């Protein structure tokens, strides 16, 4: 007689921690592609994490982004997701009118693009040589000796050595603000590879795009429509809010126990597979003593951090930069606002919103709530810096503003990934490696797209596929 056929195993229990873009895309992919249900546990009272749009605050129906704003042409995972969700993309060209020049304002005077471009020509070979010696991307397991040496240098050390005139030159000062805008920490706190990888692919005769990417698109109606549309396609109740992860344990039978603080109590959840899609800046505060994670993973969790990039949006009745023939993107010394752009480049004139985008130590010193109307004194200070660059902005200010200080946000404790000296060749790539039945997602786990919404989306898909295969 045949042995009784084994009972069909129950559907695997999949737990996902973090309802940002990465965690939601993992849940969405599992459900839509494989029919695998999951539960997503979110510490905050809203989903989306750093993908969060600001609506109904400014006039004219302007929608701006609290967090991740720009989507590059090569961000296929995000563009495909938007398309599949029935969303359209608007061309914003990095917060600037396409084909119009940026404005560089260094040491209180105009640093014309033609001058900056000439200075770029003088340092181009140094970028190319270092990119060839340390091919993208240097990681903990694939690296060159030159890559290790460059990784251990700071951006400031690189600029002092390689740029004619060193750190005193206007080009070096522009580059300091450039890496701060792109990664978020002071240039002496960043790996020199951050700078090499930013501009190493630009052509010899074009410093533009100074940030190394086209940052061409944003989602029409707000990027967080990606979030709400994915949630709409998930089973009701998939996302549970107010669940703060406090411990991860892998048990002898292969299951994963996740402990959450919920109000005044602690809830334990046991899953067959877990995806941790929260930043390491918050995961490192959890009890990982029974996680079974490797020493290298524990070190990455403890040490790999986020930059401090933050935003101050100011509404203007008109856009003086357009009248003056500029696209709206502006850079100053790092002691100033560093970088800013037209938040509304896809919207009709005349009114608009300008976004100041400072990072580093000046942002860490800010006081007050992470999200809300910007302090008046701060707005006045930044407008005073912008006034000589685009005369007329102060008079055009409508009195409406908003500030997003991600460094002070308890659920991210920063903006997006920034590699410190030594971290590419010692730790980069470790974040994505599974540990037993625990998988990892989030922009910090994406080797090619960290710091972008696309890093979250593609890493969520990667983790979901790994769970489905297992």
Q: pLDDT, tens digit, for every residue of 48-74?
A: 999 999 999 999 999 999 999 999 999
Question: Which residue carries 């109307």 as its tokens?
Answer: 373
Burial of 434 (0-12, 13-18, 19+ CB in 10 A): middle
Known binding residue 356? Answer is yes
Tell me the pLDDT of the chain (470 aa) as tens digits: 444 444 455 677 999 999 999 999 999 999 999 999 999 999 999 999 999 999 999 999 999 999 999 999 999 999 999 999 999 999 887 666 666 889 999 999 999 999 999 999 999 999 999 999 999 999 999 999 999 999 999 999 999 999 999 999 999 999 999 999 999 999 999 999 999 999 999 999 999 999 888 888 999 999 999 999 999 999 999 999 999 999 999 999 999 999 999 999 999 999 999 999 999 999 999 999 999 999 999 999 999 999 999 999 999 999 999 999 999 999 999 999 999 999 998 888 899 999 999 999 999 999 999 999 999 999 999 999 999 999 999 999 999 999 999 999 999 999 999 999 999 999 999 999 999 999 999 999 999 999 999 999 999 999 999 999 99
Known binding residue 133? Answer is no
Separation CA 428–CA 422 (nearest Å): 9
Separation CA 71–CA 404 (nearest Å): 19
CATH T-level fold of 14-44+242-304+431-469: FAD/NAD(P)-binding domain (3.50.50)
Express each pLDDT in 101-126 by its tens digit: 899 999 999 999 999 999 999 999 99
Mutual orientation of helices 453-469 and 21-34 as an angle, nearest 10°? 40
Decide the pairing of beta strands 244-250 and 256-262: antiparallel
Residue pair 331/180 in contact by the 8 Å Cβ criterion:
no
Q: Enumerate the CATH 1.10.405 domain ranges in the chain, comma separated.
A: 114-199
372 forms bridges with which residues in the sheet?
Answer: 403
Mutual orientation of helices 170-183 and 192-199 as an angle, nearest 10°? 100
What secondary structure does DSSP assign to 402-422, as a single string? EEE-GGG-TTTSSSSEEPPTT
In terms of Cα–Cα distance, which of 187, 161, 191 is closest to 175? 187
Known binding residue 58? Answer is no
Burial 146-169 (b: 16+ CB within 10 A, else e): ebeebbbbbbbbbbbebbeeeeeb
Q: Enumerate the CATH 3.50.50.60 domain ranges in the chain, comma separated.
A: 14-44+242-304+431-469
Rounded to two decimals, the pTM is: 0.96
Decide which of 1.20.140, 1.20.1740, 1.10.405, 3.30.1380 is the CATH code for 114-199. Answer: 1.10.405
């Amino acid at each position: 007689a045949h042995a009784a056929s084994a009972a069909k195993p129950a559907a695997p229990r999949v737990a996902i921690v973090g309802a940002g873009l990465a965690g939601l895309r993992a849940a969405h992919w599992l459900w839509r592609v494989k029919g695998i249900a999951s539960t997503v546990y979110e510490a905050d009272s809203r989903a989306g994490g750093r993908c969060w749009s600001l609506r109904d605050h400014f006039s004219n129906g302007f929608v701006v982004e609290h967090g991740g704003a720009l989507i590059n042409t090569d961000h296929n995972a995000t563009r495909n997701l938007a398309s599949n969700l029935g969303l359209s993309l608007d061309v914003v060209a990095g917060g600037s009118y396409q084909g119009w020049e940026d404005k560089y304002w260094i040491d209180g005077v105009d640093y014309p693009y033609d001058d900056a471009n000439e200075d770029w020509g003088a340092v181009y070979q140094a970028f190319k040589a270092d990119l060839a010696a340390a091919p993208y991307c240097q990681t903990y397991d694939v690296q060159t000796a030159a890559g290790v040496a460059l990784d251990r240098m700071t951006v400031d050390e690189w600029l002092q050595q390689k740029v004619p005139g060193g750190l005193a030159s206007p080009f070096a000062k522009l580059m300091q603000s450039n890496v701060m805008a792109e990664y978020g920490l002071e240039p002496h706190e960043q790996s020199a590879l951050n700078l090499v990888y930013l501009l190493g692919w630009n052509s010899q005769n074009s410093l533009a795009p100074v940030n190394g990417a086209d940052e061409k698109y944003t989602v029409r109606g707000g990027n967080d429509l990606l979030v709400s549309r994915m949630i709409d396609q998930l089973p009701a109740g998939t996302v549970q809010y107010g669940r703060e992860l406090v411990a991860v344990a892998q048990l002898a039978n292969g299951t994963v126990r996740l402990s959450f603080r919920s109000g005044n109590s602690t809830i334990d959840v046991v899953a067959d597979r877990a995806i941790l899609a929260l930043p390491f800046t918050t995961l490192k505060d959890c009890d990982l003593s029974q996680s079974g994670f490797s020493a290298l993973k524990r070190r990455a969790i403890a040490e790999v951090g986020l930059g401090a990039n933050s935003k101050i949006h100011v509404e203007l009745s008109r856009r003086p930069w357009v009248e003056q023939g500029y696209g709206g993107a502006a850079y100053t010394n790092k002691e100033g606002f560093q970088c800013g752009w037209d938040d509304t480049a896809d919207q009709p004139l005349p009114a608009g919103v300008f976004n100041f985008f400072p990072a580093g130590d000046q942002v860490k010193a800010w006081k007050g709530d992470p999200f809300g109307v910007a302090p008046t004194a701060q707005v006045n200070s930044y407008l005073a810096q912008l006034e000589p660059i685009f005369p007329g902005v102060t008079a055009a200010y409508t009195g409406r503003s908003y500030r997003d200080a991600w460094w002070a946000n308890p659920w991210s404790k920063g903006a997006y990934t920034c590699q410190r000296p030594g971290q590419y060749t010692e730790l980069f790539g470790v974040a994505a490696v599974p540990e037993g039945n625990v998988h990892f997602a989030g922009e910090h786990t994406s080797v090619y797209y960290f710091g972008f919404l696309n890093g979250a989306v593609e890493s969520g898909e990667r983790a979901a596929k790994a769970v489905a295969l297992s």
